[in-house]
Amino acid sequence: MINKPSWINKRIKISQLQEVKKIVKDASLHTICQEALCPNIAECFSKKNASFLILGNICTRKCTYCNVSKGKPLKPDINEPKNLAQSVKTMNLKHVVITSPTRDDLKDGGAKHFKKCVDEIKSMDENITVELLIPDMKGDRESLKIVANSGADIIGHNIETVPRLYHIRKGANYRRSLNVLKTLLDLNPNILTKSGIMVGLGEKDEEVLEVMRDLIDVGCYLLSIGQYLAPSKKHTPVIEYVNPKKFEYFYKEGKKMGFRYIKSSPYTRSSYMAHEYLTSFR
């Protein structure tokens, strides 16, 4: 096991979590912050900010890097969109991030449920910006069409890692994920697309740069790059704790390529400080 360096030292204060945890629990909701053991959870929850996990907290795929539970999911909760909108109001959120586990058991991959959540939020306050972080939905064009025209302001789909390491993404396909981002824009040129990758899994610099170029080629100009942290000893191990200078290098190279906004640092996550990505287009 590799010892954590000095720049991986963020501590979670339990006292900062309680208010948002109660709001989420009372509404029968889940957050990816809790399910994925995000290291930024105390910082975000202390600001009454959270990224919601809809369609339950059980994934139909078995990726070896992710802490979300695997198994047979429950049916979608028909009350979830309304409960989500009410929680957004309670937390006074101006930018909302909504994601879900992969739901291969649903014909549309959960697309209609995503849209219902956007509808509820926008009908409550059309000035609230909504960001969806979707699974690949098997690349189904009709499902992606529903999401692309859902009214969301940003739609993200994470590439996660370089093609050579895609064995950690069980059931996923690199080219399909790129095509998801391309298809979303083809279906609705007015949306913004976003993606994220993890480093520290044994990838080479040139492989990361190649992924970045591929994203630019499909019109994705918003990107997050963060350090992979293994949730447990049972998950894919960390191969390297990437130096902050390397994150700065990826940031500078990405700006040269044409990315409009990049967050690149050890603690960057796709939904961390997500509202900032919109500022580059205003």
Mean pLDDT computed over 222-229: 96
Look up residue 125 and give its DSSP letter.
Answer: -
Q: What is the tens place of the pLDDT at every residue in 67-117?
A: 888 999 999 999 999 999 999 999 888 999 999 999 999 999 999 999 999
Inform me whether the pLDDT recorded for 48 exceeds 80. no
Q: What is the pLDDT of residue 281?
A: 64
- In this prediction, residue 11 carries a pLDDT of 66
Q: Are the C-beta atoms of 119 and 151 separated by less than 8 Å? A: yes
Q: Show the tokens assigned to 81.
A: 């969109």
Task: State yes or no: pLDDT of 272 exceeds 90.
Answer: no
Closest CA to 179 of 230, 139, 143: 139
Query: What angle, rounded to 10 degrees, do the helices at 141-148 and 111-124 form?
Result: 10
Architecture of the domain delimited by 14-281: Alpha-Beta Barrel (3.20)
Burial class (CB in 10 A: 0-12, 13-18, 19+), 149: middle
The encoded tokens of residue 199 equal 């480093």
182 CB neighbour count, 10 Å cutoff: 17
Number of H helices, E strands in the chain: 9, 10
Map out the domains of the chain as residue ranges.
Answer: 14-281
